[in-house]
Amino acid sequence: MKNIILSITLILFYLSNVFSQIDRTEPPAPGPAPDIQISDFESFELKNGLKVFVVENHKIPRVAYSLIFEYDPILEKENAGMVSIAGDLIGTTTTSRTKEQLDEEIDFIGASLSAGSSSAYAAGLKKHNKKILELMSDVVLNSTFKQEELDKIKTQTISGLKAAKNDPNSMSDALSSVILYGKDHPYGELETEESVNSITLDMCEKFYKSYYKPNIAYLAIVGDITKKEAEPLIKQYFGEWEKGEVPEKIYQPKKIPSENKVVMFDRPNAVQSVIKVEYPVELKVGSEDYIKASVMNTILGGGTYRLFQNLRETHGWTYGAYSRISSDKLTGSFMAFTSTRNEVTDSAVYEILAEIKKLRTDKVPEDELQRVKNYLSGNFALSLERPETVARFALNIERYNLPADYYKNYLKNLNAVSADDIFEMAQKYMKPEDAYIFVVGKAEEIGNNLSKIDTDGKIEYIDENGNYYEPKIITAELPENLTAQDVINKYIEAIGGKEKLDQIKSIHATMIMTIQGMNLNVDQYVQEPGKMAMLVKMGENIIQKQVVNGDKGSMSAMGQTQELTGNDLERYKLQTYISLESKYEELGFKTELKTISKVDGEDAYVVDVTMPQGDLIKEYYSIESGLKLKTEAEVEMQGMQIQQVTTISEYKDFDGVKFATKMTQSLNQQSTDIAIENIELNTEIDENIFE
């Protein structure tokens, strides 16, 4: 069993293309604020209410069309995720074109076309203008939805949700919105597997027909085109688009908490904590406070400033620490965030709160304020090199009812911000004693110290579905004199017994691995002593092969072969054992019985297994049946930390030995379902497979 799980882990690691890069460079010292001239734009409006803005840029013969829909957020309730999925369906097919035809026509002219729940975009060479607009208008006006496309998107969405449950940053992002706004607010709704499964084709079609209306749409045109050229084209392709009444929603602004509240999402195997200090704010786009509040936030953590300098440079607790203050027509938010080691989690929170308090008690020195204003001025100037920025300004002025000269006066207003203004903004928007302190981490290790930061001294707990709960204290005590080896021995007996396992000299397992709706066929061959091969196929084509033969191993993919060395090779060599658990002591594994936990409501013994390479794996064994239910691990592979959680179920008998036939594995942010179709024991294996 262990060798199958390890094999899948290594497949997913090498198949995945998820790499994170951390920018640790310091920006150059900014110069004085430049004198900026913003290009003009022209606009017109169709009879159906579509507002159009044209920004000329004749440097290259290319035109881009960006369509934005402005509607009130939708409370989706038990169907959370519907709007996003409906957006993914838009443009998959139309009344006159299949998805394949759309893709082919776009590719033929070298253009791009995409659509979503609140926008659509098309771009290409000017000589293809009419074709681009023909295709874009077909998608916007005539999209049709197919059940098979919906099923595919739902499968991919659910796969992403499964992966997110085991990624601390993803869980932090999702649950922080629940904490900030509540599940009764459109910004606080949480997609779940159940809510996604409830979404129907009718719901998606109703959304599209209700909200894709020209009278709430804004079209920005940027490129080698004039208003005189654009107007007849837009009338030709969008003039017959019928306007309609769009549902309006009213939501009450969310208020900040009246005290500091610590909320935790417990990850028992975590060695790091993801921290967010957050609360809602009432800050509107273009308000008198907006620029001043942005400067204040930049000083705190809008770049490599106070939070960064404190937590990274002074204390060395993190790679980065930042903050942001967001404006919104409903409810904005403030957030300071970082990730750090368990042992300094509470200290990092104290330092974040201290920096926030400092803005309220000490005026910002003039030289620091000027550096930040120069930095923001420089960024603003650089943004103006992109014509898309001018188009965005035009849309914002219209959408948010800003003064016509709002952006032309931006630098003047920015440079006028004073230390007194920052002090005033801090009194208004910095709330170090009225915040949610949300931490994703190991509650057992960090909870006690964090409770001292909570005003009431009591931590609230939130689960993966955004529900608050009281953590259950497991009262069951470990039986006296029970050891980890006793638990493992019971497992070995439960799957067939050591004598039966020792008689197995070869295994051929066939399985289907499903990643984001795509099925891969996998064949695994194990022959003792010391041989293993795993073939990953797409159809009949082998896309990856892993081989261990004695003291040598390799991994081949896409015509490239990589020899395995060091710890990577040692991990692969462990896959050559038929029943690895029965050989833990022989191979130098260290095991320790830790506690009793629950896996999907079932009581389980938790055993820490330390591999010879130093990797720690937590294994969960059913107290009742003895069968393994789950494993959790965090290992280093090729310099990357790989977090892996595998749930194990549906044991079936193959020639007197039980094997789990279903596994769901989350590897970092990638979730995969594995279904074993058949296992053949002690069959002859062609030696060439191991070459």
- Mean pLDDT within 106-113: 96
Rounded to whole angstroms, the Cα distance separating 82 from 689 reads 47
pLDDT tier, 18 (very low <50, low <70, confident <90, very high otherwise): very low
- Mean pLDDT within 572-590: 87
Q: Is the pLDDT of residue 15 over 50?
A: no
- 465-479, 504-518, 645-659: least confidently modelled range: 465-479
573: left (phi over 0), alpha (psi -120 to 50) or beta: alpha
Which of residues 570 and 57 earns the better pLDDT score?
57
Rounded to whole angstroms, the Cα distance separating 527 from 504 reads 9
Q: What is the pLDDT of residue 641?
A: 62
Q: What is the pLDDT of residue 25?
A: 44
Average per-residue pLDDT for the chain: 89
- Mean pLDDT within 33-61: 86
**640-654 vs 657-667, strand pairing mode:** antiparallel
Classify residue 130 by its DSSP letter: H
- From residue 619, give the alpha-carbon distance in Å to each of 645, 665, 674: 10, 14, 18
pLDDT tier, 239 (very low <50, low <70, confident <90, very high otherwise): very high
The DSSP result for 189-200, as a single string, is ----HHHHHT--
Q: How much of the chain, in percent, has pLDDT values that exceed 70?
A: 92
Q: In 10 A of CB 573, how many CB atoms?
A: 19
**436-441 vs 468-469, strand pairing mode:** unpaired
pTM of the model: 0.74
- Contact by Cβ (8 Å): 561, 554: yes
Strands (E), 458-539: 460-462, 468-469, 506-515, 518-527, 531-538
Q: Is the pLDDT of residue 635 over 90?
A: no
Q: Please choose, from the candidates 324, 188, 172, the residue with its C-alpha nearest in 3D space to the C-alpha of residue 254.
A: 188
- Mean pLDDT within 254-261: 91
Q: Is the pLDDT of residue 296 over 80?
A: yes
Q: What is the pLDDT of residue 601?
A: 75
- From residue 282, give the alpha-carbon distance in Å to each of 70, 101, 183, 332, 672: 20, 47, 19, 6, 41
Rounded to whole angstroms, the Cα distance separating 447 from 264 reads 8
Q: Please choose, from the candidates 438, 442, 439, the residue with its C-alpha nearest in 3D space to the C-alpha of residue 632.
A: 442
Which of residues 673 and 273 earns the better pLDDT score?
273
What tokens does 456 get? 């009431």
- H or E stretch at 489: helix 484-495
Q: What is the pLDDT of residue 642?
A: 66
| Helix/strand/coil for 381 | helix
The DSSP result for 33-88, as a single string, is PPP--PPP-EEEE-TTS-EEEEEE--SSSEEEEEEEE-------GGGTTHHHHHHH
pLDDT tier, 32 (very low <50, low <70, confident <90, very high otherwise): very low
Q: How much of the chain, in percent, has pLDDT values that exceed 90?
A: 63
pLDDT tier, 267 (very low <50, low <70, confident <90, very high otherwise): confident
Q: Please choose, from the candidates 601, 653, 594, the residue with its C-alpha nearest in 3D space to the C-alpha of residue 619.
A: 594
**616-622 vs 628-637, strand pairing mode:** antiparallel
Q: What is the pLDDT of residue 229?
A: 96
What are the φ/ψ torsions at residue 262 (nearest 5 degrees)? -95, 125
Rounded to 10 degrees, the C-alpha dihedral 408/411/412/415 comes to 170
**Residue whose entry in the numeric block shows the structure tokens 């959790």:** 632
Radius of gyration (C-alpha) of the chain in whole angstroms? 29
Q: Is the pLDDT of residue 270 over 90?
A: no
- From residue 329, give the alpha-carbon distance in Å to each of 74, 217, 287: 14, 17, 11
Q: In 10 A of CB 274, how many CB atoms?
A: 24
**261-266 vs 436-441, strand pairing mode:** parallel
Tallying the residues shown for the chain, one arrives at: 691
The model's pLDDT over 213-237, given as tens digits with 9 standing for 90+, comes to 999 999 999 999 999 999 999 999 9
Rounded to whole angstroms, the Cα distance separating 270 from 266 reads 9
Q: What is the pLDDT of residue 21?
A: 38
**Residue whose entry in the numeric block shows the structure tokens 């904590």:** 273
| Helix/strand/coil for 290 | helix
Q: Is the pLDDT of residue 13 over 60?
A: no
Q: Is the pLDDT of residue 2 over 60?
A: no
Burial class (CB in 10 A: 0-12, 13-18, 19+), 193: middle
Q: Is the pLDDT of residue 49 over 50?
A: yes
pLDDT tier, 1 (very low <50, low <70, confident <90, very high otherwise): low
Q: What is the pLDDT of residue 688?
A: 87
- H or E stretch at 368: helix 366-383
Q: What is the pLDDT of residue 432?
A: 96
- Contact by Cβ (8 Å): 145, 93: yes
pLDDT tier, 98 (very low <50, low <70, confident <90, very high otherwise): very high
Q: What is the pLDDT of residue 320?
A: 94
Rounded to whole angstroms, the Cα distance separating 318 from 340 reads 5
Q: What is the pLDDT of residue 23?
A: 43
Q: What is the pLDDT of residue 35?
A: 54
The model's pLDDT over 156-205, given as tens digits with 9 standing for 90+, comes to 999 888 878 878 899 999 999 999 999 999 999 999 999 999 999 999 99
What are the φ/ψ torsions at residue 559 (nearest 5 degrees)? 80, 0
- Give the bridge partners for 220, in sequence order: 53, 66
CB-based contacts of 484, cutoff 8 Å, min separation 6: 591, 592, 593, 607, 608, 609
The model's pLDDT over 526-569, given as tens digits with 9 standing for 90+, comes to 998 888 988 898 887 888 989 988 888 888 887 888 888 888 88
Angle made by CA atoms 569, 584, 528, in degrees to the nearest 5: 60
The model's pLDDT over 607-626, given as tens digits with 9 standing for 90+, comes to 999 988 788 888 999 999 99
- Mean pLDDT within 116-138: 96
Q: Is the pLDDT of residue 442 over 60?
A: yes
Name residue 471's amino acid: P
Q: What is the pLDDT of residue 166?
A: 76
